[in-house]
Each structure stands twice: as C-alpha cells, then as structure tokens.
Amino acid sequence: MSPILEVRDLKKVFKNFTAVDRLSFTVEEGDFFSILGPSGCGKTTMLRMIAGFLEPTEGEIYIRGKKMAGIPPNRRPVNMVFQNLALFPMMNVEHNVAFGLEQRGVPRSEIKKRVDDMLERVGLAGYNAKKVTQLSGGQRQRVAIARSLVLEPSILLLDEPLGALDRKLREHMKIELKLLQKEIGTTFIYITHDQSEALVMSNKVAVMNHGDFEQIDTPQNLYKNPRTAFVAGFVGETNRFELAQSGHGTLRTRSGWKLAKEDAQEGMHWLFIRPESVILLPDPRMENLNRFHVTIKTILFDGANTKISGIIEGSGDEILIHLPQNAKFAEIREGDRVEAAVHPRDLRCYPKEGS
Amino acid sequence: MSSRHFRLGFIIFLTPVLLWLLTLIVIPHIDLLIASFQAENDQGKLVFSQENYRNFFTDSVYWYTFVRTAFYSILVTVITFLLTFPLAFYITKIASKRLGGFLSMLLLLPFWVGELVSIYGWMILLRESGVINYILLGVGLLHKPVPLLYNDFSMVLGLVYMSMLFMVVPLISALESLDDSLIEAASDLGASKFTIFTRIVIPYAAPGITSGAIVVFMLVLGDYLSPNLLGGKNSLWFTEQIYNEFIASFNWNQGAAFGFLLLLLSSAIVWLGLRMSRQRLDKAVGA
Amino acid sequence: MIRSMPRSLGYRIGYAIFVILFYLFLFAPLIVISVLAFNDSQFVSLPWNGFTLDWFFADGPDRVGLFHDPELLHSLWISVETGLIVAALSLVVGTMGAFLFVQERFCCKEPLYFLAIAPLVIPGVILGISILLTATLVGDWIEKTTGIDLEFLRPSFWLVILGQFSFIATFVLLVVISRLKKFDHTLEEAAMDLGANRWTVIRRITIPFLMPALVGSFVVAFLMSFGNFNTTLFLVGSDATLPIELYTQIRDGSTPVLNAVSFLLIVFTSGMALLYLLLSKKE
C-alpha cells in the first residue's frame, strides 16, 4: 500500500532564508507522526506547506498518491488544528463543528447527525449551543479537533495545540489525544517543540533542525540511540562534555576526565551521558565500569525525578545524576563525597556538528 | 488621608465637570426643547405653541428636505462602508505591517487638514473651469466642459470624502483583532473567499461596522459645508434649513424645532445601531 | 486572500489598483490646492503659468499675498488663540472628569458619564444653536434685571470657546480615561508604601504616566478647535475664526490666496499630526 503522505525533496526559501531544505519522508496510514524541533527549525513551515497555506519553492507533496501542487487549502483532504485553535468566536460549538460540512453542501439533517456524533466522540455531547468563549481550555481543544475530524480528513495536522494550556491540563490532554487517535485511526501529524509531548503520543517522531530532519524513528529508539549530537542533546535530559581526544579504547574530555570505551572511534567531539545512566554507589564486584568520585553540590528534589548535581573529582566537571528515591540513597547529603560509575556502552560519542 | 480631605478633593474635581455638563449640555438642550414649543402671538409675545412643529408637518418643503437628508445620509454611510471596508481589509490583512502602518497614517491627513480645505480642493477639481474638466478636454475625451459641481453627485462625493476616516478607523481596529488563523481555519475547512467574508470577516467586524456607521451617519446628517458648498443652491439639506431660520429669517423658535427634530433623528439612529450591535455608547464611539 | 496565504495574481493586481485609486481620491484635492497655490495666474485653475510666491508674499497693488491680507491674518490669529484656550480648558476639565469616572464611586456616576460622552453623538449644529439659545436667554435676562450687557453671552470670541469646549472636552475625557484604565494601581500603592503622600503620588507617578495622553489630547483638541466649523458658525461674532473667514471667501469665489492659506494649513496640520503620531508611538 502506498503511504498516506509522501514528501519529496521539499524546499522552502523565504527571501534569503531557507526554512525547509530538501526534505523527503513518508508517513504511513494510521501513524501518529510528530515533528519535533526547536522554534525556528522550519516545522511550522513544513506543516503549512502540507496544509496548502504555503507554496513549496521546490519539491512535491503527495497525499494518497495524489500530487498536491496548486490545490488550495480549502480543497485538500487534510485539516488543521491551529496553535491558537482559531475557533470562530461568533458561532457556538455546533456551528463551529458544522462549518466545514456546510461548505461541502452536506444536507442539514446529516450535518446535525454527524456533528452530534462527533461531539459525543470527543466527550462534548450536549454542548451544541454553548458559546466557544464559555468553554474551558481542554474543551476548546476538543472542539477544534472535532471541527476538523468531522470532515474525515486523510490527515489531521496539529500545530502545537497544547502550547497554550497550563501544565496539568497539558499532561492530561497528551493522554487524551493519544487515545483519541488510536480510537479513530486517522493519521495525525503533530508539530511541537516539547519533546515529552512528542515522545508520549507518537509512534514516529522526526527530529528537525535547521530545516532538515536529523532522525526519524520511534520514540524509544530516539531516546536510546540518538543518531546525531543534536538529537542526543535535544531529546531527553543529558550531560554533555567536549572531548579532547577519542580512539584506541579511551576518551578524554577537555577538562581531563579519562574514560574507557573499547569501541571508541577517532575524531569524536561530543560525549553525552544520560543522568539515569550514572550508577551511584556501584557494587564493587561489577566489572567494566568507569568508576569516579563526585562531590555533591546540590540535591534537586523533584519526587521520582530527583537528581543531584555533583562535581567530578579530578576534572572539576559538573554532572547531573538521577537519584532514585529509595532507602539505599536516603543518607546522601549535600557536600558528601560518593562513588559513581558509568558503563562504557552508555557513553555516546558524536563528531562535531556539520562534519 | 482623612475622609474630609478626600471629600474636598472630590468636590474640586466634580464641580467643573458638573458645570460643563449642566450649563453647556443639559440646560441648552432643555432650552432648545422649550424654545421649539414657543412662538410669537399677535402681540409679539412668546407663548406656548405647537406652530413650529405644525409648520414642519404641513409644509412639504421641510418634510421633503428632512426625508431627503435622512435618505442621503444613509446612502453616504453605505457608500462609505463599501469603499473603506476593502481598504481596511487590505491594510490589516494583506499589506505588510510597515506598509499597512504607513497607509493608515496617510488616511488621517485629510482629516487633520479639515473639511473646509478638502471641500475647497474638490471645488477646484470639479467646477466647469476646474482641473478635471481641463484634463479631460486636454486629452480629448470631452469637447466642451461638463458641470460636475453643484449637484447631488458632488454633494455625496464631498460627504463620503469627509466621512471615510470615521468609518475606516473602527473598521481597522476591528479587523486588526481578527486573528489570521480564523481565516486560515475557515479556508482549511473548505470555505470559499465569499463564504469567508460573509460568515467570518463581516460578522467579526460587525461591532466596528456599527460604530463606524453610527458616527458617519451622525456627522453626515449634521454636516453643513458639503451640501452648502458642493451641493449648491438645490442641495436642500436639513442643516441649511436650521441655518436659514437662525441667521436669515431670524426665527429662532422655528429653527429650534428643526434642530430638535434633527437631534431626535440622529439619536434614534444611534440608539438603533447600538441596540442592533448590542454595544454601549462609550464602546461604540471608540473609548 | 490574506498575507499568510497564497493569492492569485488577479486578486493581487485588482487590489493594488483599488488601493492606488483610493489614495488618489484621498489626496487629489490636497495636491491640487497645493500646486495651484504656486501658479502664476489670477485664476485658480490650470493651465500652469509658472511658479510664483506672490500668493504668499505679494504686497499689492495687483496682487495681495496672504501675509499682507489683514483679514485672513486676523482670523488666523483668532483661530490660534481659540484653539489654545479651548485645548487648555478641555484638557483640565476632561482630565478631572477622567479621574472622577475611573477612580471615584459616587451616586449618579453612570448617567453623568453618559452625559459626558453624549456630545460625541450630538450633531455640532445642534450644540451650536442650543448654546446660542441659552446664552442669549441668560444674557437678555441679566440685561433686563441689572442693565449690564454681558458681551460673552452674545455671539463672540468667548461664546465660540464655550461652544467648542462643550464637545472637545469629551474627546480629552475619553483619551485620558483609556490611558488611566491601563494604569497599574499597585504603582501608587508601592509609592505610598515607600512613604509618599497622596499629592506626591499624583505628581511623581500618575501624571508622568498620563503625560503622553495629556500631550496627545492637547494636540488633538487644538486641531479640532482649529478646524471646527459647524458649531462655530452659530456662535461667531465679529472675530471670525479661520474656517469661518475661509468659508465666506470661498462662497464668494476663489482666489489663489485661498490656496496659499490652505497650503499652509496642510503643511501645518501635517506637522502637528506627525508630532501627535510620534508621541503616540512612544506610548
């Protein structure tokens, strides 16, 4: 079966700035596909080209094998959920959701039925006559999604719709969106700069930087096997060290910290170590570990996510270490000197960017 | 801060405001109403009378002028809207921010210069020996000059010209707050340009349209210069009747009655506009 | 159809033509006036006979320029005086009203506020005749009872000022109110907390905050007074303001001197408007 979306050599240049640089990728039917990247990386430009609000400078977009060039937004089989939701303030919930169906000339009786169905699916049954200004943030979100989904688009495009919500609601909506997508099975393309949104909801994530995709992968792989330094640094929390030397089974940071890694390649520039890869108070019997001592500077208590910031003995580098909240570590205090270790396979090295 | 001290400050602030509103707004309008119900009897004394209003309703010239003024005021309001709405849309939604800012700044200039100067400019342009005729003769489109001045066309033109600013400013501020993404969303949901205008843009701008319309209607209704200078002898504008009674015939009581009728008409339209758009007066006039 | 969406070529060209025509319409009268103010011809019309400054500076006997026309100069001076007095008066009373309506609670506030903004929707002609009626009534009564004829209650310089003030104060009121509403009262509280008394707070905190609105509304008030015709027409005495003088002369027939006056007005008001815009930009 052909992919639902195929993008070939897509390029967009604004005046003297390349927002999207020769991108090619495909999205399969039913995917929850996220594009993750910092602001200004070109992800919004990408989305707006798929929606039809921007004409690509070069390249082609195919939806279900059909070329999209020259087709205006109002005739594409995709719909968009806007960052600020763009609910029509002069219409109530029902008229907002019915708007697209009316444009297609669907008969009144059917519109009513489909709108009611849709509202029920997003958990807003009976909200028909409410003004959109009377709704809570989460409800507005659902109206915006219902308004697009009722048109049964091939692809639903979502432009950081959770950005405006407060933290608690955002956590809740993440789960809700994922479940909704699973239930209805529509392909979602979701753009965000929040890695947790992308990791939690999607089954495929593309990490975007400077108009290009650094890696397209499952959330698990992205986290465990980041292919580039940018991905390693952008997805998940991490410690970063600049390397002075690599190869012949050893790594040495600029500050003079020496680590053993059998398969170390030459010419690496960055070393990344995730906070949870550092083992505190390692079992003395364990072998093949890079052992070192740290002096604990501060404890950053955050429940299950508590970390300590310590100074590595010898090199003076600062390092973040995950601190599990169990009895073994209950005695650790600020100022203590403790032993720590990291397994060579958890040392991830990358060459200098752009080389 | 003692409360006595506080009350004193309050009274110092309140007195001039009360004086302003009572002596210059309330009392004069009561006077206007009283004067409109007075007429000289046979001995030349002022007595209560409905004669002034009777004159208005029985003399067809007054009636005709009144209705004509109201009709043309509505027409001018509509034309002004049709002319300025696309411009306001261009400035807020199409032009770049800088160009839009520049264009809206230019809009203000004729207003600051004043109605009289602009009208004078139109007189120079439109009259038989005027610039437009000179150019049209020059390029051979005309063989003899056409009178463009002193007719209803030139009067409406002048009225539209001086009203545009008062329409375009509320339109611009209404459209400025219209988020582009609403238009994009409507388009994304399949709406045509026409539908977007009728279902999204116009309903959204409705409060701005009403406030603009209210102010323009009121100004046109009470205007004197355009009908007088551009409309010529036959302009038959109701403010001219008022002027005639006050300055030419020196029949102030008749003039007061006319004035009061004009005030009633303009207040009725303002009230209706506010009701229709469910706005408060202060919001509608741009506060 | 908007800048963030693709637009067809026809739509763009059509719109550009419309906008150009609109601005041509808007500026045609002003341009024609300005150009003909420098035309070396007795008549205010084309053809172009060459450049001259006679209509500004000529001192007779054939041509009398604007700066040697005592009536025009006098009315210009009257208008400036009127404008300054009206603007100052409106600024004081309008600002007081703004404080009253924003910061105080008192009985009948709502109806009083309604009255204060009503002048905006009363045609200027009506304001003119109603004030004329009342002033005459009061003047007659005073003359009858005391024998004193109070000049300012007859159509005169001061009556014009009262008439213009009656509605220009409303504009100042609205401008200052909208600025005052944006005022963060914790600033006042902070100042008091730091030991300032009420008067110091007003002088050091509130007034500086209002300054742009005060200066801006003074400029607007001056320009409104300067250009007013409808209300002034009924209240003017022997001291004609510039618009009244211009009106009389235009009605009697145009001369290039009128173009010269208008040209100066265009330049002067553009300057004032620019000043106002710069001030409001800062805000």
Residues of C within 8 A of B31 (CB-CB) are 130, 133-134, 137
Amino acid at residue number C241: T
Answer yes or no: is pLDDT of B284 > 70. Answer: no
In a domain, A78, yes or no: yes
CB distance A88–B186 less than 8 Å?
A: yes
In a domain, A258, yes or no: yes
Q: Which residue of A has its CA nearest to B177?
A: A89
In a domain, A260, yes or no: yes
Range A256-278 burial, b when 16+ CB lie within 10 A, else e: ebebebeebeeebebbbbbbbbb
Closest Cα of chain A to C7: distance in Å? 10
| Res B1: pLDDT | 42
A107 touches chain B (CB under 8 A): no
Answer yes or no: is pLDDT of C175 > 60. Answer: yes
Residues of A within 8 A of B184 (CB-CB) are 53, 73, 80, 82, 86
pLDDT less than 70: residues of chain A: 1, 354-355
- Residue pair B23/C166 in contact (Cβ under 8 Å)? The answer is no
Q: Which of A211, A233, A255 is the last residue of a domain?
A: A233
The domain spans of chain C are 69-252
- C169: Cβ–Cβ under 8 A, 6 or more apart, which residues? B20, C89, C90, C93, C94, C97, C119
Do A324 and A280 lie in a common domain? yes
| Residue of C3, C129, C242, C246 best to disrupt the B interface, most CBs of B under 10 A | C129
Burial class of residue B264 in the structure, from the number of CB atoms within 10 Å of its CB (0-12 exposed, 13-18 middle, 19+ buried) = exposed
Q: Residues of B numbered 10-49 whose beta carbons fall under 8 angstroms of chain C's beta carbons: which are they?
A: 10, 13-14, 16-18, 20-21, 23-29, 31-32, 35
- pLDDT tens profile B202-212: 999 988 898 89
Closest Cα of chain A to C22: distance in Å? 29
Do A269 and A299 lie in a common domain? yes
Q: Could you give the CA distance from residue C207 to residue C221 in angstroms, rounded to a whole number? A: 19
The C-alpha R_g of chain B, in whole angstroms, comes to 24
CB distance B190–A80 less than 8 Å?
A: no
In a domain, A186, yes or no: yes
Residues of B within 8 A of A80 (CB-CB) are 184-185, 188
Do A185 and A299 lie in a common domain? no
In a domain, A328, yes or no: yes
> Which structural domain range is residue A44 located in?
5-233
- pLDDT tens profile B18-72: 999 999 999 999 999 998 898 887 787 888 888 889 888 888 888 899 999 999 9
A77 touches chain B (CB under 8 A): no
Residues of B within 8 A of C90 (CB-CB) are none
DSSP string, B71-139: HHHHHHHHHHHHHHHHHHHIIIIIS-HHHHHHHHHHHHHHHHH-HHHHHHHHHHHHSTTSHHHHHHHHT
| Res A103: pLDDT | 86
Do A257 and A202 lie in a common domain? no
CB distance C5–A55 less than 8 Å?
A: no
pLDDT grade for C281, boundaries at 50, 70 and 90: low
**3-state secondary structure at position A319:** strand
Q: Could you give the CA distance from residue C154 to residue C160 in angstroms, rounded to a whole number? A: 10
Do A174 and A290 lie in a common domain? no
Tokens read off for A333: 């205090």
Please tell me the total count of domains within chain A.
2
CB distance A72–B203 less than 8 Å?
A: no
Nearest to B113 among C104, C124, C266 (CB): C266
Nearest to B281 among C117, C132, C166 (CB): C117
- Residue pair A51/A61 in contact (Cβ under 8 Å)? The answer is no
Tokens read off for A294: 């740290």
Residues of C within 8 A of A73 (CB-CB) are 5
DSSP string, A235-257: SS--EEEEEEEEETTEEEETT--
Q: Which of A189, A205, A233 is the last residue of a domain?
A: A233
| Res B286: pLDDT | 56
CATH classification of the domain holding A211: 3.40.50.300
Geometric angle at alpha carbon A271, from A265 and A275, rounded to 5°: 135
Do A83 and A27 lie in a common domain? yes
Do A41 and A11 lie in a common domain? yes
CATH classification of the domain holding A346: 2.40.50.140
Inter-chain contacts counted by CB atoms under 8 A, chains A and C:
8
Do A242 and A304 lie in a common domain? yes
CB distance A55–C6 less than 8 Å?
A: yes
Residue from A41, A77, A71 nearest A53 by CA: A71
Which chains share 3+ C-beta pairs under 8 angstroms with C? Answer: A, B
The phi, psi pair for A221, rounded to 5°, reads: -65, -40
CB atoms within 10 A of CB A238: 18
Strands (E), chain A: 5-14, 17-27, 32-36, 58-63, 66-67, 78-81, 155-159, 187-192, 204-209, 212-217, 239-247, 250-253, 258-260, 270-273, 278-280, 290-300, 307-312, 318-322, 337-342, 348-350
Q: What is the set of domains in chain B, with CATH numbers?
A: 59-284 (1.10.3720.10)
CB distance A72–C6 less than 8 Å?
A: yes
Do A165 and A33 lie in a common domain? yes
Using an 8 Å CB-CB cutoff, list residues of chain C that contact chain A: 4-6
Residues of B within 8 A of A72 (CB-CB) are 187
The phi, psi pair for A6, rounded to 5°, reads: -130, 130
Assembly ipTM: 0.86
Do A269 and A339 lie in a common domain? yes
Weakest mean pLDDT among B104-118, B252-266, C27-41, C60-74: C60-74
Q: Which of A199, A233, A267 is the last residue of a domain?
A: A233
Q: Could you give the CA distance from residue B256 to residue B245 in angstroms, rounded to a whole number? A: 9
Do A44 and A59 lie in a common domain? yes
Per DSSP bridges, beta strands A155-159 and A5-14 are: unpaired
Q: Could you give the CA distance from residue B119 to residue B159 in angstroms, rounded to a whole number? A: 9
Q: Looking at domain C69-252, does it have CATH number 1.10.3720.10? A: yes
- pLDDT tens profile C11-50: 889 999 999 999 999 999 999 999 888 888 777 777 788 7
Q: Which residue of B has its CA nearest to A159?
A: B181
Per DSSP bridges, beta strands B38-40 and B46-48 are: antiparallel
| Res A321: pLDDT | 92
**3-state secondary structure at position A29:** coil
A83 touches chain B (CB under 8 A): yes
Residue from C42, C74, C19 nearest C256 by CA: C42
C115 touches chain B (CB under 8 A): yes
Residues of B within 8 A of C55 (CB-CB) are none
Mean predicted confidence (pLDDT) in B231-258: 87
Using an 8 Å CB-CB cutoff, list residues of chain B that contact chain A: 179, 181-182, 184-192, 195, 199-200, 203-204, 206
A211 touches chain B (CB under 8 A): no
| Res C129: pLDDT | 93
C99 touches chain B (CB under 8 A): yes
| Res B287: pLDDT | 44
CB distance C234–B246 less than 8 Å?
A: yes
- Residue pair A126/A48 in contact (Cβ under 8 Å)? The answer is no
In a domain, A293, yes or no: yes
Residues of C within 8 A of A54 (CB-CB) are 6
pLDDT grade for C190, boundaries at 50, 70 and 90: confident
| Res B232: pLDDT | 80
Tokens read off for B28: 């004069």
Place of tokens 């539209």: B160
Helix/strand/coil (H/E/C) assignment for every residue in chain C: CCCCCCCCHHHHHHHHHHHHHHHHHHHHHHHHHHHHCCECCCCCCCCCCCECCHHHHCECCCCECHHHCHHHHHHHHHHHHHHHHHHHHHHHHHHHHHHHHHHCCCCCHHHHHHHHHHHHHCCHHHHHHHHHHHHHHHHHHHHHHHCCCCHHHCCCHHHHHHHHHHHHHHHHHHHHHHHHHCCCHHHHHHHHHCCCCHHHHHHHHHHHHHHHHHHHHHHHHHHHHHHCCCCHHHHCCCCCCHHHHHHHHHHHCCCHHHHHHHHHHHHHHHHHHHHHHHHHHHC
Do A84 and A201 lie in a common domain? yes
Which chains share 3+ C-beta pairs under 8 angstroms with A? Answer: B, C
